[in-house]
Structure 1
Amino acid sequence: MNVVVTEYSDNWVQNYIEESQQIRSIFGQELVDIHHIGSTSVPGLKAKPIIDIMPVVKDIKQVDSFNEQMRSLGYECMGEFGMSGRRYFRKGGDNRTHQVHVFQADNEEDITRHLAVRDYLRTHSDDTQRYGELKESLARQFPRDIEAYMDGKDTFVKELETKALNWYNVSKDS
């Protein structure tokens, strides 16, 4: 997979809205909520132009019954794909355009982690800028090696998640 990091685009919000509407129609009554997450959900953040979507559902096992409908939208159905309690779908092959991370509503840990990082980056521009610069630098270093790119972000992302969760829990309690 080629690693391309671009400047933030306002089109990403519209791409999320359009795709989330299609996912809503597939998941129907099973859907509790749906969120735009990941770097494309943070205004001003440089990112790989891949829209990350997080549907929250009543029963994660029911999501498997939607695989054929997700395939009809162009998604690969990847199952848990290394994360217990998740259903993961990706679209676009080597030129990925969308990723869908589905969690059950009572999986507060994973849901909160994604929302905390998104909301933290939306309100902490210094960390947003540092993260964007890191991603841009790694993409230049490893333009055809997604694993090396991901490994290069790992320490920063773990520290970011810790800061974001602490911030999120404090701001939620106040």
Structure 2
Amino acid sequence: MLGLKHNANFLVEYDPAWELEFAHEKRRLSNVVEPVARGIEHYGSTAVKGMKAKPILDILIGVIPLEDWEKCHDPLLRLGYDYAANAGVPGHHIFGRGRDKSERTHLVHVVEYMGLSWCSNLAFRDALRRDSFLREAYTAEKQRAIARGPTSRAEYNELKRAFIDTVKASL
């Protein structure tokens, strides 16, 4: 399953099809951002085998300098993404795609390649892949956040931020 309505938050069991969907989407993205992208990575919980996740594929595109994100704008729009101009994540230019405007299946974050966001997000992903206790703790944190913010993605993200920041600081 891939896709989540804007006013809903829930976790689903890990789906091996997410890896295949990322591989497919990476090819699509590479074809249009290749000249500017230094890297394209699957991150977030859907990138961690066996982990429950919101069914939205999170993708990092790394560019350098960060101002080159603008060169991704029109090509991503042509692929069916829309630009979330006011997403509120410093250093991230976020594009979403879904079956329609009310549902998200993919989120692309364009960040500075090898910058803080690139490195810390991939380090967090890799730590989750290596450590089953960390995966369990993070899953519990996400479930608590969903219980407190079942309809607000922004609230959900804010509720789990301290946990993520603590883990990232230890890496």
TM-score by length of 1: 0.82
Picking from 5, 29, 34, the partner of 1:28 is 34
Matches within 5 A, 1:35-54: 35-54=41-60
After TM superposition, the structure 1 stretch with the greater mean CA deviation from structure 2, 147-156 or 50-59, is 147-156
- 1:56/1:154 CA distance change after superposition, 3 Å: closer
Shift of 1:129: 1.1
After TM superposition, the structure 1 stretch with the greater mean CA deviation from structure 2, 66-75 or 134-143, is 134-143
One-letter identity of the residue aligned with 1:44 = G
SS of the residue aligned with 1:154?
helix
Superposed CA deviations along residues 103-129 of structure 1, whole A, max 9, x for unmatched, are 23352x111101110010111101101
Picking from 82, 85, 93, the partner of 1:87 is 93
Picking from 127, 137, 140, the partner of 2:134 is 127
Picking from 101, 105, 109, the partner of 1:97 is 105
More helix by share: 1
Picking from 40, 51, 61, the partner of 1:55 is 61
How many matched pairs? 163
Which is higher, the Rg of structure 1 or of structure 2?
1
- 1:33/1:83 CA distance change after superposition, 3 Å: same
After TM superposition, the structure 1 stretch with the greater mean CA deviation from structure 2, 56-65 or 14-23, is 56-65
Distance 1:84 1:141 in 2: 24
Q: Is the 8 A contact 1:27 1:63 kept in 2?
A: no
2:3 paired residue number:
none
1:139 paired residue number:
146
1:171 paired residue number:
none
Give the fraction of aligned pairs with identical amino acids, expressed as a percent.
28
Q: Is the 8 A contact 1:75 1:90 kept in 2?
A: yes
Q: Is the 8 A contact 1:79 1:86 kept in 2?
A: no
After TM superposition, the structure 1 stretch with the greater mean CA deviation from structure 2, 119-128 or 91-100, is 91-100
Superposed CA deviations along residues 36-59 of structure 1, whole A, max 9, x for unmatched, are 111111111111011111111233
- 1:37/1:135 CA distance change after superposition, 3 Å: same
1:75 paired residue number:
81
- 1:84/1:155 CA distance change after superposition, 3 Å: closer
Q: Is the 8 A contact 1:35 1:55 kept in 2?
A: yes
One-letter identity of the residue aligned with 2:77 = R
TM-score by length of 2: 0.84
Distance 1:119 1:106 in 2: 15
